[in-house]
Amino acid sequence: MAKKAPAKTPNVPLVSAAVRVLAVLEKLSQQRTIGLEELSREIKLAKPTVYRFLLTLQELGYARRADNDRWAITLRMFNVGSRALDHLDLHAAARPVAEELSDELGETVHMGVLDGDSAVYVLKIESKYQIRMYSRVGRRMPLYCTAIGKILLAYMSDEEREAALTGVKLTAFTKNTITSRAALDAEFAQIRKQGYALDDEEREEGLHCIGAPIFDFTGAVVATLSVSWPGFRYERGEESEKIGKVKHAAARISTILGYEPQK
């Protein structure tokens, strides 16, 4: 059965007052306090207009006047965001993005999370091809030789990584499996630098995977999004384009979860 095309966001006119109020709130959230003149300059609005917005936000409990006639955001925005988190589900946030990615690349997309000393598939979007990767939701996999697992390990603290790998024998599944802890640590550093991980036939011969981290609103990596290719459909010359698409999809899910990259 053919997959439905992803729904497009309707092209609706923006309400200018709402856009400007949100600009004020976002700028207030970026520093402890800010003066009216600086705020006006930063968001490129006239001071009388900004002042009226601030008074309205103060009346509604979203802003307060601090010392020296400066302004600050209140915890009311935090309360609103916290309530939204109660209704936010990783699986629901990831599925439509994963479906779009699978449609675009034509291959199997997985999302995996940490479970003790292993990773577990919690989402799978099937490839459009008849020859597919065998996997299922709930399947466990090693951390050290899969793109999903290596992302999860790379973004752990040193203490968490040691705990996850303690007692794990670095077994060679293929000739490409990394079995040296020093080599793994070097790869983890490279993964953090580049923002993605590869499984180059390390867990299974003839299987290539690209994985990218999914961050939550705290900046923690909560899952990995990955795409898998059989060797005969994996074109080395197109690798950078594939990596870009996987990273972009993972970043979209992270944004839905409230993650804001540090500038």
User: Measuring CA to CA, how many Å separate 193 from each of 99, 196, 208, 243?
Assistant: 27, 8, 21, 14
3-state per-residue secondary structure call for 67-129? HHHEEEECCHHHHHHHHHHCCCCHHHHHHHHHHHHHHHHCCEEEEEEEECCEEEEEEEECCCC
Gap between the Cα atoms of 145 and 159, Å rounded: 20
Q: Which domains does the chain have, with CATH numbers?
A: 16-85 (1.10.10.10), 90-256 (3.30.450.40)
* pLDDT of amino acid 258: 85
Gap between the Cα atoms of 87 and 91, Å rounded: 12
* pLDDT of amino acid 98: 92
* Regions of the chain short of the pLDDT cut 50: 1-9
Gap between the Cα atoms of 82 and 97, Å rounded: 23
pTM of the model: 0.67
